[in-house]
Every structure is written in C-alpha cells, then in structure tokens.
Amino acid sequence: MTGPLLKISPTGIALIKYFQGLSLEKYRDESGLWVIGFGHIISQPDISPRIITSAQAERLLHDDIFQCEAFLRKIIPTALPQEKHDALVSLIFSCGASGCLKTGILQEVAQGRYAEATSLWRNALTLNGKKIESLAAQRQAECALFNAGIADYAARV
C-alpha cells in the first residue's frame, strides 16, 4: 500500500540548510566534490557557473530535494510520518542515493526496524569513502528528528 506523497516540511528544509550552509560560489567539499548553493553537487564543474544567486541556490535545493524524495519513495513506498520522511530526505541529500544504500539504513527502515536503522545512522560518517567527522552532529540531528516528533526535535536543537 502506497501512502500519500509527502513533501519535505519547513523543518526538514531548515535541517538541510543548517548543515549544508550556503555558498554562492562553487568550492570543493571535504570529500573533493565540487559544490555550490546548499550542498548541490556540480556534475560538470568545468562548464558550470562559478557564482550563483540566492534564488538559484533555492531552486537547486528544491530540485535536489525532489530527487531525494523520488528516490525515497522507490525504496520505501509506504507512508512514513513527516519527521521520519524529513530525516531520511536529509540523509539521502547528504550521502547521495548510492551512498545511502551502502549504509543499510534505508533497508532497515523499509523493514520497520527503526532501532537498527538509528544504530547504523549514528555511525554513517563517510562520504565518497572518506570518514568525515563533521558529519557526526548532522547524523545526531537527523536521528533526533527521525525518532522524535517535530516539536521534540525543535526543542532539542
């Protein structure tokens, strides 16, 4: 049974924006990828613009989130509560689809094994094969949102 098509909430968008930050100029992230805006990965850095506007950054963010949500629906076609949806979209946004699958988190969530998913989630600190310690706070915030109601999460952050 497929649930309604959830869209990320303002809380989920705020989580992504907080941890991704905003850069209107392209740069290389900790794993060596070219990035711009709110963590948008640039697939062709040689032909992409060096600088974008805030409005362009917002558009890229929403396009990326749309892709993350489409991927999430393929892996977990059943309805999820809003906070779980938002946390998983943030995780997919951060790890990428293939990176997220490698963690095993989505598979555990799909089976309803939330405690196991949370355990894996707290240790998902690699990006493109490199351990990134700065991801620890983000993973903790995503877990808090995943495991609590939105009001509880907002009180913790």
The CATH number of the domain holding residue 146 is 1.10.530.40
Q: Positive or negative, the Cα torsion across 121, 127, 129, 133?
A: negative
| pLDDT score, position 157 | 47
* 3 located within any domain: no
- The runs of H, that is alpha helices, within 76-147 are 82-95, 97-103, 105-110, 114-122, 135-147
* 4 located within any domain: no
Q: Positive or negative, the Cα torsion across 29, 88, 108, 96?
A: negative
Look at the chain and report how many structural domains it folds into: 1
| pLDDT score, position 153 | 45
Average pLDDT in the chain: 88
Q: pTM for this one?
A: 0.87
Determine the residue type at 111.
Q
* 34 located within any domain: yes
* 39 located within any domain: yes
* 1 located within any domain: no
Structural domain of 132:
10-156
Interior/surface letters 76-97, b for 16+ CB within 10 angstroms, e for the rest = beeebebbbbbbbbbbbbbbbb
* 135 located within any domain: yes
pLDDT in tens, 51-84: 999 999 999 999 999 999 999 999 998 889 999 9
| pLDDT score, position 47 | 84
CB 68 within 8 A of CB 92: yes
The most distant pair of C-alpha atoms in the chain lies apart, rounded to whole Å, by: 45
| pLDDT score, position 4 | 59
* 5 located within any domain: no
* 2 located within any domain: no
* Dist CA 29 CA 108 (whole Å): 29
